[in-house]
Structure 1
Amino acid sequence: MKEKISKKALREAGSSYLLLSPTLFVLLLFIIGPILFAVYLAFHKVELLGITSFEFVGFSNFEKILEDTRAKIALWNTVKYVIIVVPCQTLLALVLAATLNAGLKGEKFFRIVYFLPTLTSSAVLTLIFMWMYNQNGLINNVLKLFGFPTYNWLGDPDVALNAIMIMNIWSTAPFFMVIYLAALQDIPDSLYEAAELDGANTLQKFWYVTVPYLKPVTSFVVIMGLIGTFQLFDQSYIFSKGSGGPNNSTLTVVLLIYQYAFKNLGTMGYAAALAFALAIIILVATLLQRKFSKEESLY
């Protein structure tokens, strides 16, 4: 009886893995394989042009990160970007979702309008904002109209990264708004009715009922925001034409990885080490956020 069961179990397992084999092959070829190869490159000095060579250098690529001034600048720019953009886009998404869930007139129209930036290509949005940020562009013309000083949004190192932040907050918040909106519609009306009986006003109901109920969703939104912001590349690349300027003010870690991997000779291994270090930073940031969110849910 046991032999029949084991043979049947083996046959079923074999059939399952056979059906899964196309997916497993794709995962191995395009996800797991490149990750393992990148880790391999991180410990080698790689020369891909001319005669391809791989020279094992141990941890020297990682040691070089600590001495690389541009890597420190890129990391600081990225961390500053994450610290500002993630809370702002999360708060804006929550406010927009709560507003749309309040049953105001024209709710469906505003849902479409708010969600439009998410449907637009990131590169196209960046080009539109570059036109708006131009010295003779829309934003400066509006500032002039109201008597405010104008800015060199694209050429001033003190302003360039902030300009990218504003664009990303505006373009990413609608995506998270939809997630919040779906969660808001699952909150039982009885909770709000109970709060009203206790004398809670609209703001108190939002703070003491809506926000606590949405904590799991907020945790997800923050984690997705952390991963996305740490990987900032295309906007910074287009804004600075690949240089990370002006004066390295828009240089991010991913843009620096691109520069070392494809613009400098013999630094592919170092670029892989930077990518590996960035992956560790994102993992640690995500785990810390999950830990804090769990601790908050206990109280």
Structure 2
Amino acid sequence: MKRAFSKKEWREAGAGYLLLSPTLFVLLLFIIGPIVFAIFLAFHKVQLLGTTTFQFVGIDNFQRMLEDTRAKIALWNTVKYVIIVVPCQTMLALVLAATLNAGLKGQKFFRIVYFLPTLTSSTVLTLIFMWMYNQNGLINHFLKAIGLPTYNWLGDPDIALNAIMVMNIWSTAPFFMVIYLAALQEVPDSLYEAAELDGANALQKFWYVTVPYLRPVTSFVVIMGLIGTFQLFDQSYIFSSGSGGPNNSTLTVVLLIYQYAFKTLGTMGYAAALAFALAIIILVATLLQRKFSKEESLY
């Protein structure tokens, strides 16, 4: 039989919840509330401008995705972006961190230089790269100077998304580099000493000691990368002026959600359904990554 709470225990519990109430209020108002409301919208046809109306349509919004050609294109662009960017930014971050941790001369200076892209606004970085990719931009001027033909980097549907990928790999890798750099400080020197006694060279020590030891950190970096890349919006929006062009080549799921939510009348419910579907995709991708990666260190 469970013991009844004393008056003192009730007072202590009440005081605890009273102190937590501001945080709980913010959590309910700005996180849980919007999530519940978005799920509600996903099953309705919504008209927010003028007279607000909510018409229950069941799963019609989700069935519409199967027939929406632009939704399929946006999903494919997003998946392709994730598959390429996440491994590249993870490997680049690990290599940069290992290089800075090797005790090279001037490593403090290079740590600052490598981290600068992370401190710069995403919008500013996008505008800089748009200037570089422009037909009269830095890259074409360089190609012209060495006698190579110039290229329309932003206007070619086969290249536009790749241009965004390069920019994001360059700008996000330094953030994950700092995480790897902190983890590298914790690798025991005894592991490297044992590897040296076995005749391992620098590359072998990196591959057989450093990489396995950092597996839990890599799992975290990959999960954060998955969540971030699936939510690509601002770079795609700025590159294409909100259209997802050229020829839908930079259209992502989040950009499509924005277009349906704020650019097309009467499709707010469909946009909420797309957002809900994207959340499920991110959740499944994260769970699969955790399942197929070994979370614990080998040592």
Letter in 2 for 1:161: L
Q: String of CA shifts for 1:248-271, please: whole Å, max 9, x gaps.
A: 000000000000000000000000
| Residue 80 in structure 1 maps to residue 80 in structure 2 | yes
Match of 2:108 in 1: 108
Match of 2:222 in 1: 222
The whole-number CA distance in structure 2 between the counterparts of 1:90 and 1:277 is 26
**Structure 1 segments (4+ residues) deviating >6 Å:** 295-298
What is the correspondence of 1:1-299 to structure 2 with a 5 Å cutoff? 6-294=6-294
Q: Is the 8 A contact 2:215 2:294 kept in 1?
A: no
Task: Give the direction of change, closer, same or farther, for the CA distance of 1:63–1:297 in structure 2 (3 Å limit).
Answer: farther
Q: 1:147 Cα shift?
A: 3.0
Give the match's secondary structure for 1:46.
strand
Q: Is the 8 A contact 2:123 2:234 kept in 1?
A: yes
Q: 1:141 Cα shift?
A: 1.3
The whole-number CA distance in structure 1 between the counterparts of 2:174 and 2:7 is 53
Q: Is the 8 A contact 2:180 2:217 kept in 1?
A: yes
Letter in 2 for 1:7: K
The whole-number CA distance in structure 1 between the counterparts of 2:5 and 2:270 is 53
The whole-number CA distance in structure 2 between the counterparts of 1:178 and 1:290 is 22
Instruction: Note the aligned Cα RMSD (angstroms).
Output: 1.6
Task: Give the direction of change, closer, same or farther, for the CA distance of 1:109–1:297 in structure 2 (3 Å limit).
Answer: closer
Q: 1:166 Cα shift?
A: 0.2
The whole-number CA distance in structure 2 between the counterparts of 1:289 and 1:134 is 37
Q: String of CA shifts for 1:175-205, please: whole Å, max 9, x gaps.
A: 0000000000110111101100110000000
Letter in 2 for 1:36: V
Q: 1:28 Cα shift?
A: 0.4
Identity of aligned residues (%): 88
The whole-number CA distance in structure 2 between the counterparts of 1:190 and 1:147 is 53
Q: 1:13 Cα shift?
A: 1.1
Letter in 1 for 2:188: P
User: Unaligned 5+ residue runs, structure 1?
Assistant: none
Q: Is the 8 A contact 2:219 2:295 kept in 1?
A: no
Q: String of CA shifts for 1:111-140, please: whole Å, max 9, x gaps.
A: 000000000000000000000000010111
Give the match's secondary structure for 2:277.
helix
Q: 1:245 Cα shift?
A: 0.2
Task: Give the direction of change, closer, same or farther, for the CA distance of 1:200–1:41 in structure 2 (3 Å limit).
Answer: same
The whole-number CA distance in structure 2 between the counterparts of 1:215 and 1:6 is 48
Q: 1:50 Cα shift?
A: 1.2
Q: Is the 8 A contact 2:233 2:254 kept in 1?
A: yes
Task: Give the direction of change, closer, same or farther, for the CA distance of 1:144–1:204 in structure 2 (3 Å limit).
Answer: same
Task: Give the direction of change, closer, same or farther, for the CA distance of 1:5–1:259 in structure 2 (3 Å limit).
Answer: closer
The whole-number CA distance in structure 2 between the counterparts of 1:89 and 1:32 is 31
TM-score under structure 1 normalisation? 0.97
Letter in 2 for 1:102: A
Q: 1:3 Cα shift?
A: 7.8
Q: 1:148 Cα shift?
A: 3.0
Task: Give the direction of change, closer, same or farther, for the CA distance of 1:4–1:39 in structure 2 (3 Å limit).
Answer: closer
Q: Between Structure 1 and Structure 2, how many residues are aligned?
A: 298
Q: 1:226 Cα shift?
A: 0.2
Give the match's secondary structure for 1:54.
strand
User: Unaligned 5+ residue runs, structure 2?
Assistant: none
Q: String of CA shifts for 1:79-138, please: whole Å, max 9, x gaps.
A: 000000000000000000000000000000000000000000000000000000000101
Deviates more, 1:151-160 or 1:70-79: 151-160
TM-score under structure 2 normalisation? 0.97
Task: Give the direction of change, closer, same or farther, for the CA distance of 1:270–1:54 in structure 2 (3 Å limit).
Answer: same
